[in-house]
Structure 1
Amino acid sequence: MAAEHNPTAKSNHPASSARNLWSGVLFGIGFAAFIDETIFHQLLRWHHFYDKSTTDIGLISDGLFHAFSWFATIGGLFIFADLRRRNALCFKRWWGGKLLGAGGFQLYDGTIQHKLMRIHQIRYVENVFIYDLIWNAIAAVMIIIGLSLVIRTNRKQQPEKAVPHEQ
């Protein structure tokens, strides 16, 4: 089906604009948490969500963290599906939200959970500084790119072409 511009699309409506952003943010948080859990907690086994107790408590905390990541991801996808159904999806704004959510989650994890609360570290090695630097630098890059996409979609005068979908 060819993509056609729908002049009645609600992509410039403030509520749709906010829903595009929040759908992306939720999906980004869930996606980043899922990647963190899968790679660093399970495959590499560098840490658990909560490392200040036994391994069993660490595994339970990982399970709760994993459930949280899926709730955020699914919540974001429900809003995404509704936006598509209403022909109100602004994909650039959604991606901006996704990068803001993922970067914000990662920066929160790297600063608050790792350094302030000290509930776990990225990796337990002699010099964790390089790991922290890379972790937080990647988060900052995601946030900057996400902000630039959101700002560009705020300034856009014309409604964006809706993403086509089959009915």
Structure 2
Amino acid sequence: MNLHMTLAEKNLFSAGFVLGLGLLGAFDGIMFHQLLQWHHVVHHPDSRVELISDGVFHAVVSALMLWGAIRLFRHAQEDQLSGRSAVFWGSIWVGGGVFNLAEGLINHHLLQLHHVKPGDPYELWYDLAYLASGLVLAFVGWKMCSPGGRSVSHAARS
């Protein structure tokens, strides 16, 4: 985040960041847990434990998305959202990247709760690619938030 942001841009960034955390979490759960069925939050012989861990995960990322949306709405109500739209969109990317980095480092590497594609001969490479995607998302978002992005005027929001 640019340290010279206005209050309105900091509000955009914080709301977008929380939304990004939730959105990437939801994408992860939908793509890797449900559609591809590569893993669950907790790898366990009892499928009920796996389903419950996934359900708790989905509840948490849904709460993050709701919290981000509420933050955005409240700041809009207080007319504290004028600023560069690139800050908002970039912050979603930063939040998503931070989600991938935190989830990958903590769950895949430190706690070994699961891997992106457990049992695959290239399991480590999948995990490293997941971390790399987090770095790329965060970097792209950071660059979007840099000075020179598009501005949102009050008239454009009306």
- TM-score interval, normalised by the smaller of the two chains: 0.7 to 0.9
**Structure 2 stretches of 5 or more lacking a match?**
none
**Structure 1 stretches of 5 or more lacking a match?**
1-11
Distance in 1, matches of 2:5 and 2:138, equals 24
The structural deviation recorded for 1:165 is: 4.0
2:97 matched to 1:106? Answer: no
CA separation of 1:87 and 1:18: change in aligned 2, threshold 3 A? closer
Could you say which residue in structure 1 is the equivalent of 2:27? 35
Q: Which of 132, 156, 160 matches 2:151?
A: 160
Distance in 1, matches of 2:48 and 2:54, equals 10
Q: CA offsets, 1:9-30, max 9 Å, x none? A: xxx9743222111101100000
Could you say which residue in structure 1 is the equivalent of 2:132? 137
Q: Which of 7, 13, 37 matches 1:15?
A: 7
CA separation of 1:165 and 1:15: change in aligned 2, threshold 3 A? closer
Could you say which residue in structure 1 is the equivalent of 2:16? 24
TM-score of the superposed pair, with normalisation by structure 2:
0.84
Query: What letter is aligned with 2:130?
Result: W
The structural deviation recorded for 1:144 is: 0.7
Distance in 1, matches of 2:53 and 2:62, equals 14
Please, what is the CA RMSD of the aligned residues? 2.3
The within-5 A match list for 1:41-56 is: 41-52=33-44, 54-56=46-48
The answer as to whether partners of 2:7 and 2:80 remain within 8 angstroms in 1 is no
**Fraction of identical pairs, as percent:** 25
TM-score of the superposed pair, with normalisation by structure 1:
0.80
Distance in 1, matches of 2:56 and 2:117, equals 20
Distance in 2, matches of 1:51 and 1:129, equals 16
Between 99-108 and 48-57, report the one with greater CA deviation.
48-57
The answer as to whether partners of 2:8 and 2:80 remain within 8 angstroms in 1 is no
Q: Which of 130, 143, 151 matches 1:148?
A: 143
3-state SS of paired residue (2:54): helix
Distance in 1, matches of 2:157 and 2:6, equals 23
CA separation of 1:91 and 1:84: change in aligned 2, threshold 3 A? farther
The answer as to whether partners of 1:29 and 1:98 remain within 8 angstroms in 2 is yes
